[in-house]
Amino acid sequence: MSDGYRIERDSLGEVRVPENALYGAQTQRAVENFPISGQRFGRGFIQAMGLIKKGAALTNLELGYLDEDLAAAIAAAATEVAEGKWDGEFVLDIYQTGSGTSTNMNTNEVVAHRADQILGGDESRVHPNDHVNFGQSSNDTIPSAMHISARVAMERELVPALTYLRDALAAKADAFDHVIKSGRTHLMDATPVRLGQQFGGYAHQLTRGIERVRAASEGLAELALGGTAVGTGINTHPDFAAKTIARVVEDLGIDFREAENHFEAQAAKDAVVDAAGTLNTIAVSFFKIADDLRWLASGPTSGISEIRIPAIQPGSSIMPGKVNPVMSEAMMMVAARVMGNHTTVTIAGQRGNFELNVMMPVMADALLESLALLANMAKTFADRCVKGIEVNEERTRDLLEKNPSIATALNPYIGYDKAAEVAKEAARDGVSVREVVEKRDLIPSEKVNEALDVRKMTEPGLPEG
């Protein structure tokens, strides 16, 4: 057509499609039906869809359902999709049909039109449904793409990023192990800890987080492919799924396998909910670490100010010289978003009505956004904050000397009640516990240094005798 559109047809009739678009009628209908958010599926999900279509074409060639020319063209077109050449053709909103059928058809139409271009000639030979989608349904390809894209992001982006941040925190734990400081519980002074112990705790949170991510990733290794419409496998060869998945594994170098039970795989999205829950736990760790560092760096004159964070940008438009904990604040906002995405996935996961979940697109988008946010934040926080942290040793010593909770170490020598009196007097008079002990001659002078050795207070054990 001269007005920049062409006429395409589907089961509902004619549709005007942009003349140069690789997608067709069903995609165009969805474009018109769902002008909701402007949010589209990202690179990882499109890659997964492309790999599924490529693997399916080669499997259907092997099984005798596609001739060699068509299969080769479809596989070539699908490879281009997987590699990102046609991302601009994936025009659909996340908020669409809950099965993701529109996005599956978007993929089928792009691959079919591109395969026709590869084959050459004026005749359209490749059909989006009969050829590209052969042996598949949106109901098994979309959940498979969800698992593939999320598992790839976990293994290749999130785990390395968490490891990077963990190692940065562990390096600070080693560097700060000599620094004795006040511990704090309930935001109140507590017995001493080493700054290295604090950072070691943060590092270990991430070690545990990495273990949780790997376990959740393994839960995503099962793919729904082969279940077709409702899990029965109608209109697909019994070997189709295993052969196609093997090709995806070969392309990605990450293990996947056919679902043990296709009805569970399509009707329930528990593995995705579990993965989102794991990311929620990581977000909680991020929030705790970022908030602790923000408080420890507060000041410089009226806060705790035991550490100094890197000054990476001016902190105020009105107060000269102010430096704010901007990386901690960014990290806490990322955590909040991931927690919100977990709620979205949890609610969506409940809509596995009978044989199909009908909120898959938003589940996939929320999960993949959380993965990207956590991975990017971990690397950025390590580089822009953790690696540049310095300790204010003078401040830590000053606060520790005035910490009345040091009196806890006196319990084995003078008992809890007298130690409590010492702590109260030290706090009331603004003096150290040592000064009160020596003034009141509560323990022999030769025992004072032993009793109030703050380094020993950071280690388990009781005094001898």
Catalytic (active site) residue 316: yes
Helix (H, G, I), strand (E, B) or coil at 222: strand
CA dist., res. 333 & res. 335, Å (int):
5
**Residues 37, 124, 178, 316: which is the catalytic one?**
316
176 Cβ neighbours under 8 A, 6+ residues apart = 194, 195, 196, 198, 199, 391
| Residue 67 to residue 52: CA distance in whole angstroms | 18
Task: Give the whole-angstrom CA distance, residue 226 versus residue 359.
Answer: 20
Distance CA 438, CA 418 (A): 14
User: Using the 8-state DSSP alphabet, how is residue 254 labeled?
Assistant: S
Catalytic site residue 127?
A: no
Instruction: Compute the distance between CA of residue 394 and CA of residue 182 in angstroms, rounded to an integer.
Output: 13
409 backbone dihedrals φ, ψ, rounded to 5°: -65, -15
For residue 404, whether the previous peptide bond is cis, meaning omega lies within 30 degrees of 0, is no
| Element at 181 (helix H, strand E) | strand 180-185
CB 331 within 8 A of CB 287: yes
How many residues in the chain?
465
Run of H or E including 426 = helix 411-429
The active-site residue, picked from 186, 302, 317, 445, is: 186
Residues noted as catalytic? 186, 316
